[in-house]
Each structure stands twice: as structure tokens, then as C-alpha cells.
Homo-oligomer: A and B are copies of this chain.
Amino acid sequence: MRIDKVEGANGDKDAVKPARGHVHEHVLSYMRRGLMVGAFLPGQVMSLRKLAAGFGTSPMPVREVLSRLVAANALEETKGGSVRVPRLGPEKLSDLFAVREMLEGMATELAAKKVTPALISQLTSLNKQLLVAIEKRDILNCLSYNQKFHFTVYEAADSEVLMPLIESLWLQFGPTMYMSLLIPSMPWNASDHEDILAALKDGNATAAKKGIVHDIRTTCKALLSVAGSQGIELPFAQGPELQFDY
């Protein structure tokens, strides 16, 4: 039935089905998560062919993914047409977090009105894992569980409009977030999460929103305090070589 085109003895090629039709989806989710969790650094240029080689595909799906990430303001294109992770200045960083306060505060308010026991238990579990990651100073999982905690709350708001916007923001500050956690003086804590959890448990929308806003504001201040030390340029895994709980 299925006849391989003659290409000599292609024995050593991948005999597995290339999982057609959904390659770009895989690449996209991987890159999205990677951006939020610090797999790519601000200023890093994304080479189409290198990434494609890393993913083991043709440049085509990667092109589509980078295209979409540029549209989401997660990446920016250089004059030469290449794309790179944007380097955020202090003013853009505060802009970003001011909008975060509005959007994520609104999402939290909505979520508080739709709390379920399942949501509470899930958030409690995620927060516990986050605390473990903090204890171990595991940056990747720290960011990962923090992101999952926040997004679980926002997901509960059940707004098809808010979520994509919030995601776009997280994709933008993700790389900078990672950088900041590299600084030894950077405080790591999830104390606000306890307040948020308590407020959600009570269905207190105002308090929950307040907790989120405080969490965001604290993070912003910490980020800005280390924004001066932008000079951090450490060697880094160029390709998609992440090892977080994926």
C-alpha cells in the first residue's frame, strides 16, 4: 500500500511516523513553555535552521511558530528578518506589570466567583510543589509551578478573551524573569499565594484580586531593582534542551 519513494537504502532514517499534521503545535507549545520558564535569554537570536535541526523537522513548522510568537509580541524581528528574544528596559517592564495587574486582577476576580473544591485542591498542590522548588533553588521548576499556579487561577475565570492576553504578557516577561532569579540577592517567596488561596477559599473576590495585585507588584519591584544589572551574559543552552517537568 504505502510505497516509500526510492531514496537508496534509507534504513537509518527515522522509520517512525513523523506525526504529521501537528508538528507545529508541538513546537509551539514547547517554545511557549520554554519562553515562560527561561529556556531562552533576552537578546538571544533564534535561528530558523538551527531550531529546526534541534526539533528534527524542516524549517517550515518553526517558521510558522516564530511567526506566531512575533505576533504575540513574545519575540521581535531584527532588521535582517531574524527573530530574537526582546530585551526589556525598566520602563517597558513597569508598563508590562501595570497591565498585568489590571488583566490578572480582573481574571482573579472572575475566578473567585467560580471557585470549586477541585480548583482549591489543585492550587494547594501546585503551591506545595512550588515551595519544594524554591527550597531546592530549582529555577526552572520554580518558574514552571509559579506559572501553573497563576494560570490555573486565571483559567478558572473561563474567559476566552483574557487568557490569550495574559499569556502574551507572560511570554514577554518570562525570559527577563528567569534572568532576575539568577541574581543571588533576588528574594524567592510565594507568601502571596497563601493569601490568594485563602481568599479564593472564601470566595472573596476583592481579597483575591488584592493578593494577585500584591504578588505582581512585589515581583515587579524585585525585577526593577535588578534591572540595572542587565549585563548578565552567561553561556546558555542554545537549542531546545530544557529539562523541566514538561
Chain A residues in contact with chain B, CB under 8 A? 21, 63-64, 67-73, 81, 92, 95-96, 98-99, 102-103, 106, 159-162, 164-165, 168-169, 172
In the complex, what distance in Å separates the CA atom of A68 from the CA atom of B73? 11
In the complex, what distance in Å separates the CA atom of A92 from the CA atom of B164? 13
Instruction: Name the distance in Å between A68's Cβ and chain B's nearest Cβ.
Output: 4
Given that A68-B68, A168-B165 are known contacts, is A106 also in contact with B99, CB under 8 Å in the complex? Answer: yes
Q: Which residue among A73, A81, A92 has the maximum number of chain B CB atoms within 10 Å of its CB?
A: A73
In the complex, what distance in Å separates the CA atom of A81 from the CA atom of B61? 14
| Residue from B72, B106, B169 in contact with A71 in the complex, judged by beta carbons closer than 8 Å | B72
In the complex, what distance in Å separates the CA atom of A23 from the CA atom of B160? 32
Taking a contact as CB atoms under 8 Å apart, the answer to whether B63 and A95 are in contact is no
Q: Which residue among A64, A71, A165, A169 has the maximum number of chain B CB atoms within 10 Å of its CB?
A: A71
| Residue from B64, B92, B102, B168 in contact with A102 in the complex, judged by beta carbons closer than 8 Å | B102
Nearest CB to that of A157 among chain B residues?
Answer: B95
A103 cross-chain contacts in B, Cβ below 8 A: 99, 102-103
A68 cross-chain contacts in B, Cβ below 8 A: 67-68, 70-71
In the complex, what distance in Å separates the CA atom of A63 from the CA atom of B61? 11
Q: Supply 6 A–B pairs (Cβ within 8 Å), ascending by A.
A: A63-B64, A95-B159, A95-B162, A96-B161, A164-B168, A165-B165
Nearest CB to that of A94 among chain B residues?
Answer: B161
Q: Which residue among A69, A95, A172 has the maximum number of chain B CB atoms within 10 Å of its CB?
A: A95
Taking a contact as CB atoms under 8 Å apart, the answer to whether B92 and A160 are in contact is yes
A160 cross-chain contacts in B, Cβ below 8 A: 92, 95
Nearest CB to that of A86 among chain B residues?
Answer: B160
In the complex, what distance in Å separates the CA atom of A102 from the CA atom of B109? 14
Taking a contact as CB atoms under 8 Å apart, the answer to whether B161 and A92 are in contact is yes
| Residue from B72, B95, B96, B98 in contact with A72 in the complex, judged by beta carbons closer than 8 Å | B72
Nearest CB to that of A89 among chain B residues?
Answer: B160
Taking a contact as CB atoms under 8 Å apart, the answer to whether A99 and B67 are in contact is no
In the complex, what distance in Å separates the CA atom of A71 from the CA atom of B74? 11
A169 cross-chain contacts in B, Cβ below 8 A: 161
Instruction: Name the distance in Å between A100's Cβ and chain B's nearest Cβ.
Output: 9
List 5 additional A-B contacts (Cβ < 8 Å) besides A64-B67, A96-B161, A99-B106.
A21-B81, A68-B71, A98-B161, A102-B106, A165-B168
